[in-house]
Amino acid sequence: SQQGEEDPQALSIQEGENATMNCSYKTSINNLQWYRQNSGRGLVHLILIRSNEREKHSGRLRVTLDTSKKSSSLLITASRAADTASYFCATDARYNAGNMLTFGGGTRLMVKP
């Protein structure tokens, strides 16, 4: 079963615009991670935010986490055609008990040149 739901399921924007994807989850978490997947290939780790953090930046990426609302958002600024991919949020609800990520359904982002 999937812990998270992502919104929107699909997003189409023009190059240079910002893209915002949202993720909601159900249980308390240890951390939340965002991944990118190009055309059914492997997942690329983008950014990790811990439960005691509220915002994190990495290059053109900005992630926020609101544990009271059990939600997170990923903002990609100044998007490029190369950002076209599926984006997944994943949560880990286990504390010091090994690795087990629960993924959302993903957002398909298309950036038009």
Partner 1 sequence: KAGVTQTPRYLIKTRGQQVTLSCSPISGHRSVSWYQQTPGQGLQFLFEYFSETQRNKGNFPGRFSGRQFSNSRSEMNVSTLELGDSALYLCASSLVADSNYGYTFGSGTRLTVV
> Which residues contact partner 1 by CB under 8 A?
1-2, 30-31, 33, 35, 40-45, 48, 50, 88, 90, 92, 94, 96-106
- Evaluated on CA atoms 83, 74, 46, 40, the torsion sign reads negative
Least Å from the CB of residue 86 to partner 1: 10
DSSP for 60-74, written as a single string: TEEEEEETTTTEEEE
Q: Which is nearer to partner 1, 98 or 113 (CB)?
A: 98
Least Å from the CB of residue 111 to partner 1: 22
The tokens describing 87, both together, are: 């984006």
